[in-house]
Amino acid sequence: MIAKNICKNTLAPLKPTDTGIFALRQMSDNHVRHLPVTDGDMFVGLLSEDDVLHSNPELNVELYRYAMARPFAFESDHLYEVMHKMGLYKLTVIPVLDEMEHYCGCITLEDLLPAFTEASYLNEKGNILVLESAPHGFSLSEIARIVESEHAQILSYFVTTPSDNATVEITLKLNKTEIGSIVAALQRFDYEVKGTYSESDYAEDMSDRYEAFMSYLNV
């Protein structure tokens, strides 16, 4: 899934002639802390709540130009690249541009969970398996071979690195609900199984975290 598939036009961008007060009102109404600014169909920058609050809210948006950052995603960026950019810059909204940097729309945090759920096959029947490994102590091709030897398939996976950088977590979505034999096979090859989750438990956990996060944004 790419940014073009998730991008929406339901959040109207700001114009350079809009005021900071108007921008804050729009952010509050839409439960976001950032809004794209466009001049015609050209992307100018991403105005943040802090940009306005640390200046004079009565100023026109164009006068915040030098404070505004310009993070954005191209229409062709993969969902995971969009998620990475939003996390890296701590964004609640990311503008989406075409290859000529014309503004096409934006993606909000609220748009990401349904897209991630679809892209990561969380709706497919199966189970979640989490492995822990040294950063260079695992092989995705070997993990796939072990899983397939137990007559299962990996529907999707992602790798995360905790802040200490000492280990990595490999999260696998498998197409089987009974995964005891897969766990045993991975352990025989010295892979540490950190946890397993039924699809219902994992979906419920994801839903709870999402609702808590959205409640935080709405404060």
Residue 189: name the closest of 127, 114, 139 by CA: 139
Q: Render each residue's pLDDT in the chain as its tens digit; 219 residues.
A: 789 988 988 899 999 999 999 999 999 999 999 999 999 999 999 999 999 999 899 999 999 876 778 899 999 998 888 888 888 889 999 999 999 889 999 999 888 877 766 665 556 678 889 999 888 888 999 999 999 999 999 988 888 876 667 888 998 989 888 899 999 999 999 999 998 876 555 555 555 555 555 555 554
Number of Cβ within a 10 Å radius of residue 161: 11
Dist. CA 22–CA 209, nearest whole Å: 31
Which tens digit of pLDDT belongs to each residue from 193-207? 998 876 555 555 555
Sheet with 73-74: strands ordered across: 73-74, 93-97, 103-108
CATH superfamily of 3-116: CBS-domain (3.10.580.10)
Question: Average pLDDT, whole number, for the chain?
Answer: 85
Q: Which pLDDT score, from 0 to 100, does residue 153 have?
A: 93
Asked whether the whole model's pTM tops 0.75, one would answer no
| Burial class (CB within 10 angstroms; exposed 0-12, middle 13-18, buried 19+) of 203 | middle
Extents of the domains making up the chain? 3-116, 123-207
Dist. CA 204–CA 210, nearest whole Å: 10
123-207: CATH class: alpha beta
